[in-house]
Amino acid sequence: MLLGRGADGPIVGRTVAITGVGAVTCCGVGADKLWDQLLHPTVSGERSVPDFDPSVWFGPKEARRLDRFAQMSVAAAELAKTDAGELGADPDRAGVIFASGVGGFHTLVEQVLVCDKKGPGRVSPFLVPMMMANAGAANVSMRFGWHGPSETIATACAAGTHAVTAAARLVASGRCDVAIGGGAEAAIQEVAVGAFVNMTALSNTGESRPFDARRDGFVIAEGAAALVLEDKERAVARGARIYAEIAGGASTADAHHITAPEPEGTGAVACMELALEDAGLTPADVGHVNAHGTSTPLNDLAESRAIHKVFGEPGPPVTSAKGLTGHSLGAAGAIEAVASALTIFHGLIPPTAGLEQLDPEINLDVVRGEPRPWTPGPVLSNSFGFGGHNGCLVIVPAG
């Protein structure tokens, strides 16, 4: 990753290794369940987390004082930290960057109803610390006792990717030796669902079909994911397992529309190109694109045009995890970063669940049906959010 440009040219940072992954998704609790389902998807219908039990992670009193998204933030981070092994991190040189699109939405809605029915005197004193979007990052840092940066990114559906990129740059810059990047969302709630339905963003059929000619909107999901990012020299010295490396990332804005992507994908093109430049790579180096692929008509077409402009035809193999996982808003990019790291580590590109009839306007090599073996190379993971926020992350095999 680049830290900037000086008089002598680009300033390259330290190598960032992924040494731990954690996921809490509709596939179940654990990155292993996510990976198994990505290879052989069976999940359909509502994309809530079926077996998430807060009592595994919290006592009854603590659980009552945390919104579900914050509970999932801590759970995913704990899973990733355990997966990484004995970190032995200096608390002052360990940081947390976590994402959420809307924060504690369940708590906010519940307490608005309390206020309406019983008056402001009955509103919970825990409303603010439960609803605030930074509660996820704050509780992860408190759980681990880490005193480095603890920050939250809320760039809608690009937030998870932005958070992982920012956490990686903490390590690359030398500010931190270890950082956790991730995201969490728990917004499957009547008000949120109603809003998305009324703006015609959700699928009428309840099916997530990225790049399919029949796609009709996204399927809302909840979930969380986290990655332990570590200075590679330090990771090697302690004998850590390294899944992959974060090589680059970028962020741009469409500056076009509050919800719709720029139709030709110009902002996405710039973001992909800048991420590759940050990683010191060219489009020809990329072996796989983990697409944003929401299953909405406008997004998939704009993204496919952008990928085509960057890579040509047919370009590298493309997949979208959202056919399986649905769209978990601010958590999506983090979940897909975990998937990308596992795609490299296991040497398999998962198929795009739900894709049966490729849209003839989409000229991409979209992986479908069965997992595709590959010789692992750089993966470009895309996230594009409401507000025109674009985030791209480059993950490469460990060298």
Q: What are the catalytic residues?
A: 157, 292, 327
Please state, in angstroms and rounded to a whole number, the distance separating the CA atoms of residues 267 and 303.
Answer: 10
For residue 267 the two structure tokens come to 């902002």
Only one residue has tokens 């009428």, namely 204
Q: Which of 74, 136, 77 shows the shortest CA–CA distance to 102? A: 136
φ, ψ at 273 (rounded to 5°): -65, -40
Opening angle at CA 89, ends 86 and 91, nearest 5:
140
25 token code pair: 């998704």
* Closest-CA residue to 142 (of 84, 238, 70, 82): 70
User: Taking each helix axis from N to C terminus, what angle separates 105-118 and 68-84, rounded to the nearest 10 degrees?
Assistant: 160
How far is Cα of residue 42 from the mean position of the Cα atoms in its chain? 21
Phi and psi at residue 200, in whole multiples of 5°? 60, 35
Instruction: Name the nearest CA neighbour of 285 among 375, 158, 165.
Output: 375
85-124 in b/e burial notation, b at 16+ Cβ within 10 A?
eebebeeebbbbbbbbbbbbbbbbbbbeebeeeeeeeeeb
- Rounded distance, CA 135 to CA 281, Å? 36
Measured CA to CA, the distance from residue 26 to residue 47 in angstroms comes to: 5
Q: How far apart are CA 327 and CA 314, in angstroms?
A: 26
